[in-house]
Structure 1
Amino acid sequence: MSTPTRRTLPPGSWPSPVAPVDLARSARLDDLTSVGRSLLFTRSDPASGEQRLHGWDAETGLVELGPHDVRSRVHEYGGGAVVTDTAGGGDGSVLVVDFADQRLHRVDAAGRSEPVTPETGARVRWAAGVTLPDRRVVAVRESHDGDTATEVRNELVLLDPRDGSQQVLVGDADFVTAPRVGPDGWLAWLAWDHPDMPWDGAALWAGRLEGDSLVDVRRVAGGDDVAVCELDWWRSDLVFTEDSTGWWELYHHDLGSGASTRLTEAEAELGGPRWVHGGDRMAVVGDAVVLVRTREAAADLVRVDLSRRPDGSVVGQLVEWPTATGQVQQLVRHAGAVATREVDPDGRRAVRLRGLDGSVVDVDDLPGPTTRAGDLGEIRPVTVGEGAETTHAFLHLPANADVTAPEGSRPPLVVFLHGGPTSHTPPVRTAAIAFWTTRGFAVADVNYRGSTGFGRAYRDAMRGRWGEIEVADVIAVATELGRRGLVDADRMAVRGGSAGGFTTLAVLTAPEHPFACGTSFFGVADLAALAEFTHKFESRYLDRMVGPLPETADVYRERSPLTHVDRLSVPLLVLQGLDDKVVPPEQSQVVVDAAREKGLLHDYLTFAGEGHGFRRPENVAAWHTAELGFYRSVMGIPDEEGEQGTSEADGAGRQHDGR
């Protein structure tokens, strides 16, 4: 059989199997939970973007449960929206957080639902609950007493789902998360206070529950510039990961003696930063601790087998556990195994049940953006700079099973900037990346200094330098890729959302940069305004990343893109959700106004009903249609029909000026 002839077309103009609507339909898997014989998790509905509760067990398979859009808004980022509940007499019911009202609702095994907590107009929100043997629940409660970040209380609460009664257990910390039920009434949890973020100085606490209060409360580890990120019980002791060595390593703590012992020397991140509730990356199964290990932003699984010496001390043996996955987003213990939420290198999303013997059961499996092997381009790790100036990126090269580029041509480049900025991107061919690479664009996914996944020193390199250090890194990576001839140095775009949007704007208003255009979605333009008006979780984040106010107000002004809009000289696309509480729309509007006053080519798309991130399928499709057309228009790249690209899109509020 003859092989079909591949067409030769200019990079950036290739017809792609990944359409904008495919990104809109890309499903999310979240909030994995084990209850009895069942695994529960949420899966997004492609038609609405809502997160629907699903259940699975080995006998009945996968079923959808209940009418709710299951999402928490605690910390605005949510997570931990599914809580196990046996208050119905062991009938397999669970508690879930409904996105609209933020109340807890009991959903039984047949999918029937009833509210458990009172109506508050979403001013009281719930997350990260665990069930006690007596059927009561310990959960995080976030109460909004006003409209500012200082009028929000985050507490660990004892809730009885049978009568709705609530009692505060921990109310003296700015933030609490990850309650864990231990033996003999013991409870453990994480807590931290401003100006720390959880990866700066989260402490592990433990106490014994007597009636409706905690006694014998003590700090076990962490705090004071040491961050605990994972915790669980092993028999009557605690195991946890903390980063006093510069890496999140595994420790054992004996409650009786109060002694902690380090069990690993992995020199890798065992666990990860707690941006959201839930999302645990450690689970104890018998005498084994299973952990997500991240090295240079790439993740796999490891197992640490625990044992006691004759003298009573505990030792751990790290066992390699090769897993063909690009990213493990969550681990939970289930039926003598571990259940995982994973993303494979080809973009496939899955919930899997992994036995300690190496067996794997696919619970739910969502295909990647394309199933054709010829559409999966090479991923090259890229390192730029030396010593303390080193930065990392993944270069995704273009690929298309039907098309090839003319000999000697170089692809246009789209630089992706992750949010956070204390986050990172793994070597995974997501739908968002394949959308570009299958059209002949190269994508550079930059893990600038300050990103997680490379140890504490790399993460802390951004302290006091946000808006400076990562700007230099992004410019350095793009410039070097152009210098090496891997991409077309004259056709490069930079894009990012939230903190990545801030860096996009900071790069485009730098004195010099190599980019032809850029896109900011819900990006920060004014750092002082962000510090004043953002939500509680991040309201003191900038103390670490920029400096405390008002002492460093001049630094905030100097680092803000708004201060330097006179330097903005290339076309700009701006996208914004009108219900965003993390980065309010005013942040985008000031940049758009400045671009208009300068007469620059720009587009501004607004999306009603969207918050910090776009979920509605029609909006996701409109966003990517507009972004693709914008780049093609600016870079002079013909589209699939041989026409010059345009930036027109339907379905969103928009301004379109300066043309």
Structure 2
Amino acid sequence: MGESVRTLPYGSWPSPIDAALAAEHDGRPEDVGFVGDEVWWTAPRPTEGGRRTLLRRRPDGTEEPVLPAPWNVRSRVIEYGGRPWTALMTGTGPLLVFVNFADQRLYAHEPGGGEPRPLTPVSPVGGGLRWAEPHLRPERGEVWCVLEEFTGDGPGDVRRVPAAVPLDGSAAGDRDAVRELTGDRHRFVTGPRVSPDGRRAAWLAWDHPRMPWDGTELIVAEIGPEGTFRDARTVAGGPEESVAQVDWAPDGALLYSSDRTGWWNLYRDGQPLCAREEEFGGPLWKLGRRWFAPLDSGLIAVVHGRGATALGILDPESGEVVDAAGPWTEFAATLAAHGERVVAVGASPRTSHEVVELDARTGRARVIGAPHDDAVDPAYYPEPRIRTFTGPAGRDIHAHLYPPHHPGCAAPDGELPPYVIWAHGGPTTRSPLVLDLEIAYFTSRGIGVAEVNYGGSTGHGREYRNRLREQWGVVDVEDCAAVALALADEGTADRERLAVRGGSAGGWTAAASLATTDVYACGTVSYPILDLTGWGTGETHDFESRYLESLVGPYAEVPARYAERSPAEHADRVTAPFLLLQGLDDVICPPVQCERFLARMAGRGVPHAYLTFEGEGHGFRRAETMVRALEAELSLYSQVFGLDSRGIPALELTR
């Protein structure tokens, strides 16, 4: 850069990556799809109240929003949501059906043809009526989707069924005009996929206490002349077999992704297409996730990999996969196909998530939407390393290491950097190796980050995933600590300046780490689970209300375990300073969990701060929230580690 390198202590390097820049670039495109020859997708808008907008790319390459603010295209089904839109091209233009976040109603809209009109009613009962995974059935004048209907005020007073909503608006004020396609014999269902001949439907279902990555059933039914499902039968899946996605090949064969071998692989009418020890599926945290998409030619577009994901084309005849060439090293679970065109969302350690189109005939891939734009000189981006550490009993622990990095700064000889151990949420998910300006915010200042894909994470097969069964608060804590201590032992990190941070399930791991180890000098805990007994007995939403039976054990059998592992029960063991961040509208990890924990911390003299945010739910979406949270976190580390972070508002720590 033509400048001499300055010698400054770790944590005090001046960085052009401020919290506002990191917040502005938070989130990624999702829910890609074709509408005629156009590509549409949803995109985050942190500076517009955290809404998600819907964008369209016309055939001439121009990109424009489909809906103005404040329309927010996002579903709350199972609270984590599901695919919130569908559209098709008519003789007069596109017909769009979408879920609006504010009231959770389905709306129909013809861009350029006036305001969206509601298709579904508002229910005053509990969480109301919610919808996800809409599929237009114009020949019937309907849209088929998942209906989530609350029957009372409790989080568990809810039922879910595949349903048909009339497109003429007759159900906008009349719940009885919504036609249910099956009975509600399963607690959870995905949206029905209709066979090419229109005679069969396939969907996934599961019941408490299973989570969808534990076991699901693949159900196929005949579609009667009146448009209801009959003779439903289970054709794959079970209590210990997770089917993650189902679809139909153009010739009517049933395609699905199952982990019956210990890895999510693809099957066609029950026969394996590409038996590999890698994943062609993943955890169904949102309805409508797609890891494969059949093409008209019979080929199948796939998102697959082990620990990371590539976009490829699978030939079902040979079982061969040819991956798309390009800079992307990670693809999200959103895919769509039209003819021989495939659209996906890809990223890399040097690029944020982009909308990518692949030509299945030529193998050429190009960015067509949300193109990465270097907001700062890429010289300030971290240079990550993929590492495998050894944990207790010699087990492997997968992690991504982001050492401090600044093109114009170096630390004094002999100084070791502070490191923050990041525990991902879920816990059944993983941290992808992609450019994240929130990580760069720290590394460019001289603070290292290590993302730990602890036992229980996805991407490494069912056996690795099952390490967390009844071991939550043990294996995750041990694996994070093992990585932290290994970094210190090898001279990569300063043993006295280690921190832990996480949100949601990662917030649990961070808090449990502070309560049960002496590894960390401080921690940042966001929208966490802190009290297993409360969370497992009515303080969360229906989807995860029985999750602890696999993560901890059945409460009726091991109630003492719930208390023993809960940080809220052992506030006396927490001696390190901490920052607690919480959205006040969070129904997944409600504020009462933090309040109970803080009440037990009172008077103990441990420095801490508790920041709450109105209008924020589970995970922060508004730019101003993310800025406040990120600056508060840096201030915590600066105070505890003795760093110089001028220009950052000081976080007031109370005792």
| Superposed pair shares fold, TM > 0.5 | yes
- In the aligned structure 2, how far is the partner of 1:89 from the partner of 1:3? 59
Aligned CA distance change for structure 1 residues 60 and 483 (closer, same or farther; 3 Å): closer
1:15, distance to aligned residue in structure 2 (A)? 1.2
- Counterpart of 1:283 in structure 2: which amino acid? A
Q: Which structure 2 residues correspond to residues 450-461 of structure 1 after superposition, within 5 A?
A: 450-461=456-467
Residue of structure 1 equivalent to 2:218: 204
Aligned CA distance change for structure 1 residues 90 and 167 (closer, same or farther; 3 Å): farther
Aligned CA distance change for structure 1 residues 388 and 8 (closer, same or farther; 3 Å): closer
Residue of structure 1 equivalent to 2:15: 16
Query: 1:55 and 2:56 equivalent?
Result: yes
SS of residue paired to 2:344: strand
| Of 575, 585, 600, the match for 1:579 | 585
Q: Does the 8 A contact of 1:534 with 1:583 survive in 2?
A: yes
Query: 1:298 and 2:330 equivalent?
Result: no
1:35, distance to aligned residue in structure 2 (A)? 1.8
Residue of structure 2 equivalent to 1:240: 256
Residue of structure 1 equivalent to 2:441: 435
Q: Does the 8 A contact of 2:186 with 2:205 survive in 1?
A: yes
Query: 1:190 and 2:204 equivalent?
Result: yes
1:399, distance to aligned residue in structure 2 (A)? 1.2
Q: Which structure 2 residues correspond to residues 77-156 of structure 1 after superposition, within 5 A?
A: 77-84=80-87, 91-110=93-112, 112=114, 113-120=116-123, 123-132=128-137, 134=139, 135-156=141-162
Query: 1:168 and 2:180 equivalent?
Result: yes
Specify every segment of 5 or more residues in structure 2 that has no aligned partner in the other structure, as ranges: 172-176
- In the aligned structure 1, how far is the partner of 2:107 from the partner of 2:88? 10
- In the aligned structure 1, how far is the partner of 2:17 from the partner of 2:119? 43
Query: 1:378 and 2:379 equivalent?
Result: no
Residue of structure 1 equivalent to 2:526: 521
Residue of structure 2 equivalent to 1:338: 342
| Of 400, 422, 427, the match for 2:428 | 422
Q: Which structure 2 residues correspond to residues 161-560 of structure 1 after superposition, within 5 A?
A: 161-162=167-168, 163-164=170-171, 165-170=177-182, 171-185=184-198, 186-210=200-224, 211-234=226-249, 235-253=251-269, 260-285=270-295, 286-295=297-306, 297-307=307-317, 316-329=319-332, 330-356=334-360, 357-367=362-372, 370-385=375-390, 389-510=395-516, 512-532=517-537, 533-560=539-566
- In the aligned structure 1, how far is the partner of 2:381 from the partner of 2:88? 43
Residue of structure 1 equivalent to 2:37: 37
SS of residue paired to 1:591: helix
Q: Which moved more, 1:197-206 or 1:369-378?
A: 369-378
Aligned CA distance change for structure 1 residues 501 and 423 (closer, same or farther; 3 Å): same
1:156, distance to aligned residue in structure 2 (A)? 0.9
Q: Does the 8 A contact of 2:304 with 2:312 survive in 1?
A: yes
- In the aligned structure 2, how far is the partner of 1:298 from the partner of 1:421? 17
Residues 419-458 of structure 1: per-residue CA shift (max 9 Å, x gap): 0110101112311211111111110000000000110000
Q: Which moved more, 1:528-537 or 1:338-347?
A: 338-347
Specify every segment of 5 or more residues in structure 1 that has no aligned partner in the other structure, as ranges: 254-259, 308-314, 649-655
Q: TM-score normalized by structure 2?
A: 0.93
Residues 142-186 of structure 1: per-residue CA shift (max 9 Å, x gap): 111222232011111122212333211232111011421212222
Q: Which moved more, 1:415-424 or 1:38-47?
A: 38-47
Q: Does the 8 A contact of 2:119 with 2:165 survive in 1?
A: no
Q: Does the 8 A contact of 2:16 with 2:376 survive in 1?
A: no
- Counterpart of 1:108 in structure 2: which amino acid? E
Residue of structure 2 equivalent to 1:65: 66
Structure 1 stretches of at least 4 aligned residues deviating more than 4 Å after TM superposition: 368-371
- In the aligned structure 1, how far is the partner of 2:231 from the partner of 2:352? 46
Q: Does the 8 A contact of 2:36 with 2:88 survive in 1?
A: no
- In the aligned structure 2, how far is the partner of 1:111 from the partner of 1:646? 51
- In the aligned structure 1, how far is the partner of 2:112 from the partner of 2:341? 26
Aligned CA distance change for structure 1 residues 223 and 493 (closer, same or farther; 3 Å): same
Identity score, percent: 37
- In the aligned structure 2, how far is the partner of 1:616 from the partner of 1:417? 22
- In the aligned structure 1, how far is the partner of 2:437 from the partner of 2:617? 21
Q: Which moved more, 1:26-35 or 1:350-359?
A: 26-35
Aligned CA distance change for structure 1 residues 374 and 213 (closer, same or farther; 3 Å): same
- Counterpart of 1:76 in structure 2: which amino acid? E
1:26, distance to aligned residue in structure 2 (A)? 1.6
Residues 511-550 of structure 1: per-residue CA shift (max 9 Å, x gap): x321100011111110011112210110111111111122
Q: Does the 8 A contact of 1:271 with 1:294 survive in 2?
A: no
Q: Does the 8 A contact of 1:383 with 1:393 survive in 2?
A: yes
Residue of structure 1 equivalent to 2:2: 3
Residue of structure 2 equivalent to 1:652: none
Aligned CA distance change for structure 1 residues 21 and 354 (closer, same or farther; 3 Å): same
Instruction: Compute the RMSD of aligned alpha carbons.
Output: 1.9
Residues 260-318 of structure 1: per-residue CA shift (max 9 Å, x gap): 211112210112111012231111112111111131x21112321123xxxxxxx6333
- In the aligned structure 2, how far is the partner of 1:283 from the partner of 1:564? 48
